[in-house]
Structure 1
Amino acid sequence: MTDSTTQSPSLALAVDLGGTKVEAALVTDQGVVLPGTRHRSPTGPGRTSDELQAAVDEVVTATLATLPADATLIGVGIGSAGPVDEVNGLVSPLNMPVWRDYPLRDRVAQHVPAGVPVTLRMDGLAITLAEHWVGAAQGSDHVMGMIVSTGVGGGLILHGRTVSGPTGNAGHIGHVECGGFDDPCACGGTGCLEAVASGPKTVAWAQRQGFTGTTGEELAAAYAAGDEVAVAAVQRSGRALGQAIAAATSLVDLEVVAIGGGFSHVSPDLFEYARQAVAERAEFPFVTKVRIVPTGLSQDGPLIGAAALVHRADVLR
């Protein structure tokens, strides 16, 4: 006999669009990625617009096909590399130049039943929601989440509510300029955090100093072995991170910054270098109080963040 009080599980379809891949999965209202529902496909600057859309269609349809018969799809959350146009559901990822003002929200909505809400936000905001919900920022209401990977993204929660600004791009800390760095950035700026501290840019800087590796993993191994160039590269990136975090904390009085993304794992020392840069603001205890911590999430973090746009919609502003 079926228990009449048993409710069907409420699931969100989570979509995460980044500079190297797009992923989709079904996520529970407890922030758990449902096993067997996760699918991914490559993206990147070399893909045509049709190829990028085909990749999105592929992962979305494959994931929807895994929706359990007894489950209810209550919404779709999309976290996208920015810039975004939150109001109109458009994306213009810096590392995907063929997509400018691309109607990603509406294209994904075509795959789900009418009436199922589809919410698009910048990926940094989504990851911040995830850290606040089930990650390293639980219990804090003045939070920045960061992704340090192919690019550098971020998002803000202040007074317990998300802050996205009039266009949806608030928290775009990867394009805050850091003092003492002259690296050109694809956005047109100079010395932007992303141009200094992202994984590919850190490796490229190390290569200019004689490093022969080509990946962040190789740089991490060289750092662990004490290679002087690798150590200098990680120190440089960590300092830039700390400078940007100190500036952001000066502006909005953060309590905690939670950092995830592939390159954030290059070494635990990356966080120490960032903390040292923040500590230089010794006359501003409201800045030096900020805690810089590794993500409290697994590699599912970006998907959990996209799902939080649905499951934690009450926190969205």
Structure 2
Amino acid sequence: MNYRHSFHAGNFADVLKHAILARILQHLNGKPTPYRVIDTHAGAGRYDLGADDALRTHEWKDGIARLDRSPLAPEVEALLAPDRDTIAAIRAEHGAAAYPGSPWFCRHALRPFDRLIAAELHPQTHAKLAEALARDGRGKALAIDGWTALRANVPPKERRGLVLIDPPFEEKDEFETLAQQFIAAHRKWPTGIYMLWYPIKDSRAVSTLIDEVQEAGIARLLRLEIDVDRPAAAGGLSATGLLIANPPWRLAEEAQTLLPALTERLAQGQRPRYLCEAIRPDG
């Protein structure tokens, strides 16, 4: 599977990923000590939903456009507030068709003493990322392989923060690589928060990922998934997931409120589903 950010910006998978990312950043901001975010496969940082790539798929119409349609229940909107604030900020700065990637979410949330490392290997995409983070001393765009960036930057000197691993799944063994690289990084920095994104095309690959992580002895995991029941005839992705290690306190409770509402709003078929599973929460 090839998952290029620019073709899928603002789709249902982004809606889930960014809603949870914004919650994690809020929790990190809840303590006065500095933190660092390491975004291993950062993409361009900012996207134009009116550009050719986005218009080829129109996936944002069944993603962020549905979230824009009308407010959800008050308790859901309270949890979505950081997400919506970030999107409103980038639209105010770059126009109504602008959509933030994960580095822009991080940039918006960082305090003056927090830091972001964002890695992107593709030259043209890295140039866009560097532009998105320009003139902001808190963030650095690295033109290196994401797995190299991960190995080189954990543990961060702050000893607190988040690693976001969101690979493009261009290689057939990407799930295996994801498991190996995450496990190795966790051994070096077992107290960090890790958020792994994955597409659900092959349920066996996802199960193997979860099994390998558990067999490595990694405890305190939160597994979040939504399946919007996209019709097979439409092609494309129907389900996506996040595996979070060392989730902040109450994130699982927040997800139990967010996921049902997001799944209902983003559903494309009659049988959407969501999963919110704490694995070894007291490990």
Decide: shared fold, TM above 0.5.
no
Identify the structure with the greater helix proportion.
2
| Larger Rg belongs to | 1
TM-score, normalised with respect to structure 1: 0.30
